[in-house]
Amino acid sequence: MIDYPKSPEEIQAYLKNGLSQEEAAKRLGQFGPNQLKEKKKKSTFQLFLDQFKDFMITILVIAAIFSGIAGEWSDTIIILVIVVLNAIMGFVQEYRAEKAMESLKKMSEVQSQVIRGGKNQVLPSRDLVPGDLVLCEAGNMIPADIQLLEENAIKVDESSLTGESVPVEKEASKSITPSAEIDSPTHLFKGTLQTNGRGMGIILATGMNTQLGKIADLLQEKRPNTPLQIRMEKFGKTISLFILLICLVIFGMGILRGEDPIPLMLVSVSLAVAAIPEALPALITIALSLGAARLAKKETLIRKLPAVESLGSITFICTDKTGTLTKNQMKVVRKEASEESFPEGPNPLHLAMALNHDIQSNEEGNFMGEATELALVEHIVEDLGQKEYEQIQEKYPRVGEIPFDSERKRMSTFHQFEDHVLVICKGATETILDVLEKDISSEEIIKMSDQWASEGERVLAFAGKLIPSLPAEEEWENLEKDLSFWGLAGMIDPPREEVKEAIQECKTAGIQPVMITGDHPETAKTIAEQVGILEEGRLSISGSELRELSDEDFEKQIEKISVYARVSPDQKLRIVKTLQSKGQFVAMTGDGVNDAPSLRASTIGVAMGITGTDVSKEAAHMILLDDNFATIVRAIREGRRIFDNIRKFIKYIMTCNGAEILTITLAPFLGMPIPLLPIHILWINLVTDGIPALALAKEKAESNIMKRPPRPPKQSLFADGVGIHILWVGTLMAAVTLFTQYWAIRNEWHWQTMVFSVLAFSQLGHVMAVRSDRDFLFKQGLFSNLPLILAVLGMIALQILVIYVPVFNKLFHTEPLNLPELLICGGMGLVVFHAVEMEKLVKKWRRNS
């Protein structure tokens, strides 16, 4: 049991210091990390055994048994060896993909602000322990079960625990109750989302001891298949039935020709295994997972795997301004104070800038908090000096507050001011004008604010008043009226240097960037023009103007609007849904609690990794670890590359499988013996499909990847000539192989070994040619994909071993080829490579004609 502070004096002392580092370390060892136990993962051995569960692998094993019964023990051994090798390859890739996803999951762990030893610290939530003092702010996920000791207007969405969709109001407790029911008004529970207010509380339970831990089995994640996987699984089932039908036809024809049924059955079964693309869904998952790991290195954390696939379809990027298009390094460049003053007191504007904020100091003494407030505090400290700033903080302590929210667009704090209470209100100019005394002329204030905004500055207004005493909390909102105007502060946040180039790259790629911001319309337009978002012919609109537009009129204009200023979160959602109703695919950035609906509704929700709240990150498909617009563009480029490479190995595998089907199917019709033994088909399948196909996932981006329009998400995998390529190249590969068989039989050469080699070399030549849909191999650079080059050279070396090493001759039923025969095989194998390169030349001629 933990000895919590009991008396009010002990609790007040605890609120200043929290746990000591030594005690926290002791409790971490006692209670363990603050995380839920996941379902027991499969062991490495079980993961390996799962590779043998595939139906087609079962058929292969049956084929090996039949080979043994027929006395072909060498075939049995080789088939089983290949089955194991395939299993090892599948296991290694799945294991790597699983590890990549685990590392990504660790990167998305929640951070929490705590007080230990009297100092503010930001820690991973897994390091929290019972007794820790946690600061609770709107937008954050509750990291453990907590009892509130201080609070201001806190509301919590507890739907993940109770199913109740309406946020619940919370209140502070004067004493600590170590256990609580879920409906307790003074407790916060792990996994719920704080939607409003701020406060401080003490952790009562962590990990599996929390209320969420008690129902943890209901919260285990199950990763859904991506749309691409679903399409490929459906395609695989269809083609499997078609190929099995072909196998039955081949078997029946062989029986009618009087051939031995056992070898015939083995050929039919192995043909089915070689031709059915059963590995494609796994290869796609691996490519997406490894792609997500690559994106993480480029400051993009993919939370939901389908997002990788969807990136290539984005047509609109709706982005916030501050921190995304700009540096988020606000600096006060000028301020204008009113003539208001306090008798023998400090300047009201200085006082407001020094007190109305939530900036905290960390253990190194550096300021921490939101960028705008940080700029105000740094400016006032520079003006007054650190000592005077600290004296103001100590002399006028905060006694209450109404936190900022996106609807009011202002924040009010209340401070003890001698025997009175000081009300300070800070916010956008127009929202402060709403709460001023009626006799204050607003024309000069608006004129100055608009002038500063037109020069790219963000303008904040300050107002306040003195009142005799602080009323009851439910009456605080009434204090935001009849205020005196205290002044304006103008800040600038310059655009990031790389954003202008990223905006231009978007437009070249057929993607329309749109700025959506809560800033002043003039500020928004100035920044949008500087970075290239707002150009001639494009429109800018404010939130108030948008509110006046009917849905019909908005639909007519939306594709021409590039800047939205002073918009509310519900208007963000309206923008997303209207764009989607026009057939557009939208990436939406957001960082606040109220951005969650628009993030969830968009095609790709993009949360900010630095400034984003836990709520926004939970709703998003991906997280920008550096809050940079250019990173979104890099992610889209990488997403297009990943999808291109998936299409390449689909094109490659299906072409090779088609060639194998045609070769074995057509040979008997042409009066020739079945060209390949089961062991040959299995070997070709292993050598030419799996390893080179995986190496294709490492292929660099096409030269035109950001110069073409977005891909329609419902577009078939076989569109853009992929299906035609599979048909004609598969047919050509089969024709080259069958011609080799005919020529070799006629000249009494080692025809079966030659057919075996020509098919293998043709497929390796094909994989080199499909590296690009448009660029010739010499233009790409032979060694620009080193893993693929090593895979191809390794496969050629293995094929040579199979031809010339006596032990392999016996196992694979091959014969050593003389030099002319080997050269003929190499030459025939290059026919497909040159034909596919010629296809690129024809496509180039068509593009230019």
H helices, E strands: number in the chain:
32, 23
The pair of three-digit structure tokens given for residue 832, joined into one six-digit string: 């497909």
Per-residue CA distances from 792 to 462, 730, 760 (Å): 69, 19, 11
Cβ contacts of 205 within 8 Å, gap of 6 or more: 130, 144, 145, 190, 211, 213
Residue 636: count other Cβ atoms within 10 Å of its Cβ.
26
Single-letter amino acid code for the residue at 137: E
The pair of three-digit structure tokens given for residue 292, joined into one six-digit string: 């997500």
Q: Are 434 and 410 in contact (CB under 8 A)?
A: no
Q: Are 203 and 132 in contact (CB under 8 A)?
A: yes
Among residues 39, 36, 34, 35, the alpha carbon closest in space to that of 223 is found at 39
Three-state secondary-structure class, residue 231: helix
> Quick one: 820 exposed, middle or buried, by C-beta within 10 A (0-12, 13-18, 19+)?
exposed
Query: DSSP letter at 555?
Result: H
Stretch (H or E) spanning 205: strand 193-205
Three-state secondary-structure class, residue 243: helix
The pair of three-digit structure tokens given for residue 752, joined into one six-digit string: 């079966």
Q: Are 759 and 652 in contact (CB under 8 A)?
A: no
Instruction: Output Rg (C-alpha) for the chain, integer angstroms.
Output: 34
**Cα–Cα distance, 351 to 345 (Å, whole number):** 9
Q: Are 155 and 196 in contact (CB under 8 A)?
A: yes
**Cα–Cα distance, 360 to 469 (Å, whole number):** 27
Q: Are 614 and 109 in contact (CB under 8 A)?
A: no
Three-state secondary-structure class, residue 51: helix
Catalytically annotated residue among 75, 127, 145, 320: 320
The pair of three-digit structure tokens given for residue 52, joined into one six-digit string: 């043998």
Phi-psi region of 260 (alpha: psi -120 to 50; beta: other; left: phi over 0): beta
Cβ contacts of 302 within 8 Å, gap of 6 or more: 104, 292, 295, 296, 308, 621, 622
**Cα–Cα distance, 408 to 474 (Å, whole number):** 17
Most distant pair of Cα atoms in the chain: their distance: 115
Three-state secondary-structure class, residue 653: helix
Active site residue 773: no
Among residues 780, 792, 782, 795, the alpha carbon closest in space to that of 695 is found at 792
Among residues 377, 369, 629, 413, the alpha carbon closest in space to that of 517 is found at 629
**Cα–Cα distance, 106 to 102 (Å, whole number):** 6
- Residue whose tokens read 């002791």: 26
Inter-axis angle of helices 55-69 and 678-685, nearest 10: 150
Q: What single string gives the DSSP state of each residue in 151-189?
A: EEEEEEE-HHHH---SPEE----SS--S---TT-TTEE-
Three-state secondary-structure class, residue 498: coil
**Cα–Cα distance, 177 to 175 (Å, whole number):** 7
- Residue whose tokens read 């192989």: 737
Three-state secondary-structure class, residue 740: helix
Stretch (H or E) spanning 425: strand 420-428
**Cα–Cα distance, 390 to 393 (Å, whole number):** 5
Single-letter amino acid code for the residue at 813: H
Active site residues: 320
